[in-house]
Structure 1
């Protein structure tokens, strides 16, 4: 590993640790009642991720690896993981859950248009990867 790369990784790691510490301090400042109320939500996140989302991604990945040409596998993985995660996180705003007629400041942005832009970027990147892998005859990982 070159010196520049090592320095960059060290700086990024330090920034990550500082951001994590800031988050931990803010989390602990919520008070005991809020901390206890957060525990079921955190447990639910772990259960949903490990019990539903991760196995689903693995099944989709294995199925795609068997069905798709080898040169498409990396692009399909990019789309599945990136766009799948963004879409899952965007469901509440895309569905406008929590919008109230008497408060126009809630959900006041064109979230669907933003999602379309993200989808276009991810699909464009996947297309570039697929074309490069096809040209190189790459095994896809």
Structure 2
């Protein structure tokens, strides 16, 4: 399984490198990648780790940290579209309300985190009551 996953990872990196060759302005891609690294290392990772430390004794800390990882990743991808200046000249370029849709996605992530926490709590109670 490890070999298969490694091969898939190498294939994905090769595809990314091949697609990068067709980019007109690689400097824009480099700036975006640098921004993503700074956002991840400067904001998302400390937030997830800090929350994990603050919730150290809480059973649902895994669900909370998982939700923060997914929410942070989605925010890093969606932020350029949400913060775009003005309206595009062509209305079909970005036709959706990305801020509202991002909030809806955050709500769904939160609901899944609560669901995972409740499921873990129920499983824990069942184990304790059955004497496992």
Task: Give the 3 Å change call, closer, same or farther, for CA 82–128 of structure 1 in structure 2.
Answer: same
Aligned-partner Cα distance in 1 for 2:65–2:78: 19
CA RMSD, Structure 1 to Structure 2 (Å): 3.3
Unpaired stretches in structure 2, ≥5 consecutive residues? 126-132
Deviation (angstroms), 1:122: 1.8
**TM-score w.r.t. length of structure 2:** 0.66
Aligned-partner Cα distance in 1 for 2:70–2:14: 26
1:91 aligns with 2:79: yes
**Residues 88 and 94 of structure 2 are in contact (CA less than 8 Å); yes or no, is this contact kept in structure 1?**
no
1:129 aligns with 2:116: yes
SS at match of 1:65: coil
Q: How many residues align?
A: 125
**Residues 75 and 129 of structure 1 are in contact (CA less than 8 Å); yes or no, is this contact kept in structure 2?**
yes
1:65 aligns with 2:56: yes
**Residues 83 and 122 of structure 1 are in contact (CA less than 8 Å); yes or no, is this contact kept in structure 2?**
yes
Q: Which has the higher contact order (CA 8 A, sep 6+)?
A: 1
**TM-score w.r.t. length of structure 1:** 0.63
